[in-house]
Amino acid sequence: MVASFTRLCSVLVVAGMLTACDESVGSDPSGPRPSFSITASGGLTANCGVTCSDAQITAVTASGGAAITLKDNGGHTGTLTLSGGTASGGLTANCGITCSDAQITSITASGGAAITIKDNGGHTGTLTLSGGTATGGLTANCGITCSDAQITAVTASGGTTIAIKDNGGHTGTLTLN
């Protein structure tokens, strides 16, 4: 008798990538395995106009699809598009009633499906990935004489890394897996 192996897959294909497969039946698990990965493209570099020197990202949000929406204090919107996964949640910065300078100050992840986003008002939001995980990120730091650290850019060019920049000249990388 020949052993048989059946791979049962619940398939969702986004840009040609298999995102879910359950190998629950069979006796030969040595067959080829699907490759899971999320890639990203697009993004936003904050721009608040020619008379403004304080450009900053003010929102990072998603609603369950492949698009992560980014907003800046100049009224611009950018889209970080995921391939092979989706995202939901996020944070729109809010620093209180007496503050007119709400900004994202941190975007980090530690290997799970959650990306943590913080603002200068003490709020924390979570962007949750479906179909992958993330590591890395950046907490803004503009130096010891600066009290206004902020994220100024979130961009990607089709690979598994998202570049994050702050107003102190630092760059961090959020790596998607």
pLDDT of residue 21: 35
pLDDT of residue 7: 31
CA-to-CA distance for 129 and 87, rounded, in angstroms? 4
Query: Structure pTM?
Result: 0.78
Fold entry, domain 39-176 = Vitelline Membrane Outer Layer Protein I, subunit A (2.100.10)
For residue 169, is pLDDT > 60? yes
pLDDT digits (tens, 9 = 90+) for 21-31: 333 334 454 55
CA-to-CA distance for 92 and 138, rounded, in angstroms? 17
pLDDT of residue 94: 94
Question: Pick from 125, 151, 120: which is nearest to 138 by CA?
Answer: 151
The answer to whether the beta carbons of residues 103 and 58 sit under 8 Å apart is: yes
pLDDT digits (tens, 9 = 90+) for 46-93: 998 888 888 999 999 999 999 999 999 999 999 999 999 999 999 999
Map out the domains of the chain as residue ranges. Answer: 1-29, 39-176
pLDDT digits (tens, 9 = 90+) for 126-155: 999 999 999 999 999 988 888 899 999 999
For residue 11, is pLDDT > 80? no
Q: Tokens 């897996």 label which residue?
A: 177
**Span 151-170, average pLDDT:** 95
Query: What percent of the chain has a predicted confidence (pLDDT) above 90?
Result: 66
